[in-house]
Structures are given as C-alpha cells and as structure tokens.
A and B are shown apart, each in its own frame.
Chain A
Amino acid sequence: MRKNGLIFFFSLFSVILFSQNTVRGKITNQDGVPLSGSHIHIGTKSVSSNDMGIYLIKRLPSGVTKVHVSYIGFKSIDTILTIKGDVVLDFVLQPQMDELKEVVIKEKANTVNTSVLEQKIKGETIEKFSNQTLGELLKNIPGVSTLKTGSTVVKPIIHGLFGSRVPVINNSVRLEDQQWGTEHAPNFDVNAAGKITVIKGASGLQYGGDAVGGLVIISPVAVTKDTLYGKTILNYASNGRGGSISSSLHKGNDKGWSWNALTTYKYMGDREAPNYVLSNTGNREFNFFGDLKYSGAKYDLTTNYSFYSTTIGILRASHTGNVNDLYNSISNKVPSVIADFTYDIGNPKQEVQHHLASAHLNYYFDETASLSLQYAFQFNKRKEFDLRRGDFRNRPALDLELATHSFTADYKKVVHDWVVKSGGSASFQNNFANPATGVQPLIPSYNRIEVGAYGIASYDFSETFTADAGLRYDFYQLNATKFYSKSRWNERGFSNRFDHFIVGEQGNQWFTKPEFKFHNVSASLGFRKTFEANTNWYFNLSLANRNPNPSEFFSDGLHHSSGVIELGDLGLQKEQSIKVTTTFQKKWSQFSFEISPFVNQVDNFMFLRPIAFETTIRGAFPVWEYQQTNARLAGFDFQSHWQINPNWQYDFSLAYVRGKDVTNRTSLIDIPPLNLGNSIQFSKKEWYHFKAELKSEMVFRQNHFPDTNFVANVIENNSLVPVLVDISSPPPAFHLLHLYSEMKFKTTTNSAITIALFVQNMLNTSYRDYLNRQRFFADEMGRNIQLQLKFNY
C-alpha cells in the first residue's frame, strides 16, 4: 500500500507540460520607486514582486489572459493581455487618495483539499433540521448514515466509521466532547451552523491526522457586507408534541466591528412509535452563540463564546438488569415499560453542558500570504443518570468534566502555481471522573497532551490539473489514574505486562497510573483533473493514524443500556488506515451525476467482540472486550440530479459499504446497509416561491453481519432453560416517505416570512433500524409533522 503511494508520487512529478510562456516586468510608483511585495495576478497564477519590484511568472498558456496588479495604498490595475511567446510588462501604480481599501484576492477554490470532492450542506437544508440533531442533518449527504441511541442521541457515520474516527470541527476548533461513547452525540446546535462541509477521508490534515472515517467541518454564519439582519425560526413537531425557537442577529461589516448572536431553546416530550409511546424520551436544549469581530486593514480578530446545554431522556425500557432481561426485551415485541405521554424526563437520562470560547487572529501579510493564530478553551460536563436505589436516586452514575485548551497556528502562501499551507497545533486536556457518583466510572480521570505539525502543498500543473500532497506529525501522551480490582487485573492478563503502572494498593484493588506515548505520521496525496464538458476526476490517497481512546483502553464495567460487560485493553496499538477515494463527476445542462468509490484498509481496527460470560450476583452477563483486527471497508456513493424543466427536478442517491474483518474472516459489526434515496421536487417562484418535495428513503436489510449470538440460561416457567439470545440479526428492510413543502411571503422590502411543512415517515411505518442501539427494545419513531415559521428581517 505504501509502495503504491510512492509510485504514484514519482509518476506525478515526471509529467511535463508544454505551452509555457514567461511574463516578467517591474512594478514602480509614479516616481520610479520599485514596489516590492506588490501582487500580480495573471490568469490563474499569482506572484509577489521582489525587493527590486521585479516579478516573473512562468508557464503561462498562450492566448488572452486577465491581469490584475495591486499594492496597498495604490490604485489597482486590471487589464487584458494577449500572450504569444515571452512578454516583458512593466507597471506604474498611482497612489490611492481615499482611505486604505484592502484588496483581497479570493482563492479560486476556498477548499480544504483540492483532490477530494467535498460535500456541502446548504443553509436552507440546515434550517429544515432546526429542531433536530446534527446527525440527522448530515444524513442528507450520500455516504453518511447515523448511529443512534433512541431518536435524540445521533452520531454521524461516514463510510461505515463513526465516533473517534469522525472528528467534528466547529469553527476551526476540534470538538472535544467525549466522542468515544456510542451513546454520546456531538454537542452542537444545528442552528449555529452557517455552512457544513463533509470530507469523506483523512485529507484534512490541518485539523489532525486521525480522521480515519472522515471530517465534519462546521462554520458559523459570517457576514462580510455592511448590513444588519436577523432570523427567527419557530418549530413545532407533532411527534414529541413540542418544538423549538431559534433566533439570531447578524451585523456584518467589511471593515471595523461586526458580530453575530444566536440563541435556541428546545422543549420536547416523549416520542411515539406508531403503536405506543416511547416512554422517557423527551429532551430539552438551550444554546447560545455569540461572536465579535474586528476587521482591520491587514488583520481581523474574532472572539466567540458558545454554550450548549441539554437534558436527554433515555428510553425507560432500555434499562436492563442481566441477560434474562435482555432476552425478554428481544422476545417481546413491545417495550417492557409503556406509560402515558408526558413531558417529564426521569431516569435514565443524560445532562450535558458544553462551553466553547475562542479567539482567532488572521493576519494578512499581503494578498498572497496570511497567518492565522487561534486559542480555544472547551469545557464539557456530562452527567449520566441511571435507575438507582435509595439515596442514590438523584446521583449520577457517571460524572465527567473535560477541559481542553488548544492552540493552533496556520500559515498560507500562494506563489506562482503553488498554494502552500503549514502550521502546528498543541492541545492540553484534562478529564475528571468524579468518584462522588459512588460507582466505578466508565472512563478514568486522565491528562492528555497533543502536539502536531503539518505541511500541505498544492500545485497547478495546468488549468485542468492540480495535485496536492500533505504530511503531518503528531505526538500524543496520555496519563491516567485508575483502580482495577485485582481479579480483573489478572483476568485481563495485565500482570507481568503492565505491573509498572501499579503505584499502590487499596483492599482488593490495585491503584494504577497508566501512561502512553504515541508518535504518528499521517499523509495525503491526490489530484484533480478537469476534462472538457464539465467533467471532473478527483483522486486521493490518505494515510491516517488513530490512537486508542480512553474507552478502548480503560473500559471496565457493566453498560446498563446494553446489558453487557465491556472490557478495555491496555495493550491496544494505534489504528492505521490507508484510504483511496476517487470521484468522477459529470455535468450536462440538465443532468449531473457523481460517483465516489472508496477502499479503506484499517490495520489494528479496534472494536468490541464477545468473548465469554461472567456471573455476578445480578446473574449472567455476556462479556465483550476491545480487540484489534485488520479490517477492510469498501463501497461507493452515487448521486444524480435531473432538472426536468424549470419547475420539476429529480434527485437520486445511493450509498453502499461492505465492511470485512479480514483476520477473522467475518463481517464487521454495525456497518450501514445499502440505502437509496429518491426525491422529486416541484417549485414555482410565481406562487410565493412555492416548493414541494416528496422523498422516498429505502433502507435494505444488512445481510453481512458477524454472528455474536449466544446461549444463556433464563428463567421460564420457574426453571432455568437455555435459550438463544439473538443480538446480531439485523431487522428487516424498510421504506419511508417524507414530504417537505414551503412558501415564502415578502412582508417588507427587507423582510420575509417562510412557512414550511415537513412530514417525516408520512405513512407512519413501524420499523427498526440496525444502527439504533435501542432496536432490541422498541420501534423507531412514527409519523412526525413539523410546522416551521421562519422570519427573516
């Protein structure tokens, strides 16, 4: 695999291009004084003049080309040049009499990485999901599925991978919010997103080297014009009998002060499946986001603060005692606890608060070079409440405080046909697991340090061919403190291997201080080729490394929501993934499509695998432990768009992933099944911008899954009988219909009201989703009618 990369790298640099002309000259002011550092932009190439005011641009194609010359304090020159052979062209710039006006040349593609097709979610789609979760919103991109625990805890899955393998970058800050748990959703308010980009691969090296699955990059709303505007969205959802209100104000400015402020409040009661109430699934949310920016001549400085707070009820019927309870839940087709609808949230539940404060400075040396410095502080407090006895009823079973400081510096320079980015980052993190819970915490207290440096270069070989390459180094150190019962220490095989971590003893427990250090190198290489007639071909090869997360190292206990004892392993090695992604995209006037196949080889892939049974006073529990294997995931995403006529359009999307555990010759668990999306949309501007869309979502049954069923003794008719507990069989395929429609009314010249109706699961279909941890206990949500009022002012 490494070899393929090298061969490719060398062949790339042996490509020779013709049609090379050179343009050179001198740039001076009206008195003949050379202007060094003035910016010359010819066609797609740009360069700065040197100390003598001299510039030189090579390999320009013959023909008619636009030329732009600028320098701070002087009037810019825009002209057309016909190139036939080498040219000498001097410029004399006139000073600008009025106040400094910054000229910023926008890069032709403000993308993270040119060799990977990035999928973007538009603002109007984001608004549609104002009352829902980030995971549900991201599902709109083919290749992205969701892993759920109920309907309110939703995590994105990219190309079959989720959790620590899919970092979320919020406003250039990596979201640090306990992503290791399958029951932990990203702590982010959908309304605070202005633009979302999904990269299905590890090529966003400026953010880290461990995005084995992909990256979700969120940017807040940014306004550059001198305006003041606002938006309020009111939502009501019938399933949950609640809604939300989100209001924001934005003051834009191209210079001077600008700011944004946003607040959201959500109040929802129990959700309902078609045949019964899903008791204790209500949720509350309160969020705030504010930022303040000052734009000067050569720099801008932004500070922002955001607060996310939520209380999420966990399905009451999903709390199990032992295997017997789990077996009963699977056999009975309805949840064991069904109460009347209520807005109250009892135990089990989660309470999470996430604070994020950051300061961001962009400094522009000139139009070709900029430096960005950032400091961010995040504080995440997570409390998970369980059904407990006596005085412990109101004490959380898990109480974690995660504080992270991060510093990043990024430098970008555009010269000739090169765009070079390099930088570094450092982060310090502390996790405090509060022992006042009275229960062994799922993950221990720890300190973590990460330091990394990267360099990315992209080169335009021609107007139609760009290649990029990146390299990143990361150092990672983890120091934890944890108690292990001596029997467990021996059972795990840690004695004689990790005894050097033991620092003390208390009763029948060892007091340990595990310490781990990792050095990782990640890389990315790719190209983009544009053919005639709007055809693009993207290709990217990336190498990523992911260190084991605290859950994978230190898990040591019973998970009530799954009735399983999960055990970590101190001996885990880092995951190494090599992913090849390629996209073929073609556009005609009314029809376009793109197809993206991929292959991802992940060595030392970490996952939970059942190994045995253990008996405790509660009864018998299956024991799963974190193991490593060599995995291979492959698949493709396809989407097409057909503009039938100005009013009608048809969209089709398909995503397929096949995940194999190569070492054990079986399939990987929790791989999203084949899914198809068909939607037809009618729009007529004349009817108050009327739009109606009918979408069909078809999810097939996952037929490739590992058999993790086991036989357990359960009590039936007063005696113990052996039964097969089927936890591996995926539920059957299902088909859902969704309807969306909206109309927009202009109330004054600058304001408008939009009314939207969004019906999900129109036919109130009963179904279970393989990727929902709660599929053993209850059906998915039934019909949800959402009414939305959007005020733009």
Chain B
Amino acid sequence: MKKLQFIALALFTATLFSSCSDDGHDHGTNEEELITTVITTLTSGNQTITLTSKDLDGNGPNAPVVTTSGDLTVNTTYTGSIQFLNESVSPSIDITKEIKEEGLEHQIFYQAAASIGAFTYTDADTKGKPIGLAFTLRTAASPTTGTITVVLKHEPNKSASGVAGGSMTNAGGATDASVTYNVVLK
C-alpha cells in the first residue's frame, strides 16, 4: 500500500541521520592551548634570576608551584623576558610564539609596588603599542620583600587611558594567565 511505503521511506530516511556512536573516539582530551607554565627571566650583567610558576594539572585542583631562583639587587636595571608554555603535553608547546604573532590582541602587565621597582615596556606590536614580551625592571633603593604579579590579557583595550604605560585599570579584556611571584630585594 502506498501509505506503508511512505512510512517505510520516512523511517529509512530518518535512520540515515543517526550518528555513529561507539567508534572509539575516546582519546584523552589534552587542552592544546592551555598555559601551564610562566617563566619570567631577569638579567643584569652576569646575574640571571628566573621566576617560575607551574600548574601542571591545568584546571585541576592543585595550585601552581611558584619558585624564585634568587634574590634581586637594589638599584639595578634588569632586562626582562617572559615565556609561556604548555607542559601538560610532551613535547611541550611554546605559546610565547603565538602571543607574538597575535601581538595586537595581547598585552602583558607587570604589577609591583613602588617599593619593589618600576617596569618599562621595550617591545611593540605592529601598531606601536606594547606587548610586554620584552621589558626592563628598575629595582628600588631599599631592601624589602614583596610580590610581582604578571598578567597576560587577551584582547585588552590598548588605547584606553594608562594601558600603554602598564596600568591594568582600564584595560578590560580576558585574563589568560595571572601569576604572583614572591621576591626579595637585597
């Protein structure tokens, strides 16, 4: 009967839409653009201080492990550079390269109290605004202890007031990394 054929055809067409289920697509999901490690390097003459923050379980519960390789010296100008890595996969992925390629959409902010020192950007994106992959730190005059917080912002408003000078107040955007290092000034 015509009606039965119609039903059969409709059902057949419907089953064509069925998606395959158990085809073993179950490999572990490793986040590929995840940042697990932020390494900030400060160099002056033959002195190199490495500040590291490593959180290998990504969004897992374990807190990042923060280490400082040494103490900073007062009244010194350090040349700074920074590296962002994804070490949850092997071989590890260097995300710093992508940030440089998408320089227009990224800015790194270095925050520390005046008693620790002052930061200056020494790099720029294709429109002349700073990125922050290269910078200098001029340490303050008296010995003290404190923190340096490094924040990577994705799509900040680089033209807003104070942002190009390193102030995060009007930057907006989304935070992709935010690490706090404990430092000692001697």
Contacts and interface: CB of A to CB of B under 8 A. Distances in A.
A332 to B, nearest CB: 9
A377 B57 contact: no
B177 A617 contact: yes
Given A617-B55, A715-B149, A357 B17 contact: yes
Contacts of A488: 57, 60-61
A720 B149 contact: yes
A319 B6 CA distance: 49
Contacts of B56: 508
B57 A485 contact: yes
Interface in A620-676: 620
A557 interface: yes
Interface in B151-186: 151, 153-155, 157, 167-169, 172-180
Given A389-B98, A390-B33, A719-B147, A618 B6 contact: no
Nearest to A614: B61
Contacts of B37: 617
A485 B55 contact: no
Contacts of A359: 7, 10-11
Contacts of B179: 617
Chain A CB within 10 Å, residue with most, of B28, B98, B168: B28
A440 interface: yes
Contacts of B19: 379, 401, 403, 430, 432
B141 interface: no
Interface string B14-56: 1101110100011111111101111000000000000001011
Chain A CB within 10 Å, residue with most, of B53, B60, B64: B60
B28 A507 contact: yes
A487 B62 contact: yes
Interface string A715-732: 110111000000000000
B13 A487 contact: no
A398 to B, nearest CB: 12
Interface residues of A, number: 65
Contacts of B14: 357, 377
A485 B174 contact: no
Interface string A236-269: 0000000000000000000000000000000000
A411 interface: no
Contact of A389 (B33, B111, B173): B33
B59 interface: yes
A506 B28 contact: yes
Contacts of A324: 151, 175, 178
A350 interface: no
Given A403-B19, A435-B29, A718-B113, A375 B11 contact: yes
A357 B113 contact: no
A752 to B, nearest CB: 35
Interface in B47-84: 53, 55-64
List the 4 shortest-distance A-B pairs measured between CB atoms, nearest first.
A321-B175, A619-B178, A336-B172, A321-B174
Given A336-B172, A392-B32, A435-B25, 5 more contacts: A321-B175, A325-B173, A430-B19, A445-B21, A614-B61
10 contacts: A292-B6, A325-B175, A337-B172, A387-B154, A405-B18, A434-B25, A488-B57, A615-B55, A718-B167, A720-B180
